[in-house]
Amino acid sequence: MKKVFISSQLDIYKPEFSELNIPLAGEASAGSFTNVDDFVSERIDLNKLLIRHPEATFYAKVKGNSMNEDFNDGDLLVVDKAEEWSHGKIALCYMDGEFTVKRIDIEKGVCKLLPSNPQYKPITITSENTLLIWGIIIFSIRRHG
């Protein structure tokens, strides 16, 4: 990944592509134990799985906790600039000179940017704001452990 933007809210990266095929273990049960080796039957390329529009796709690393019901600090977001934005989608927004990640809420002609952390207030967009929906979050990658 090549870092293309750094701020206190997030870092943005451009993906670098390679052919990396990883064994796909099929579906993993969250219940009783199964032997994964018995199910390895194909290989996947994570670039092909996660990225639909290579020239319009970026990664962003989450900083902060305003979206902690959806993402944790340090999670890697896959952002697609070619994806259409609409009510309910989570977007990387450029508002008044700063990037932020929020859920788009449009109700009765009013646009709000909603955090998922209840400690933060929704942001109501007015004519005084400059807002650009920079891209839509299509996947997130989280480190466990």
66 counts as catalytic: yes
Angle at 47 between CA 73 and CA 14, to 5 degrees: 60
Closest residue by Cα to residue 21 from 46, 39, 54, 4: 46
User: Which listed residue (2, 63, 66, 127) is catalytic?
Assistant: 66
User: Which listed residue (41, 63, 89, 102) is catalytic?
Assistant: 102
Q: Which two tokens stand for residue 77?
A: 């977001």
Distance from C-alpha of 10 to C-alpha of 63, rounded to nearest angstrom: 5
102 counts as catalytic: yes
Which positions are catalytic? 66, 102
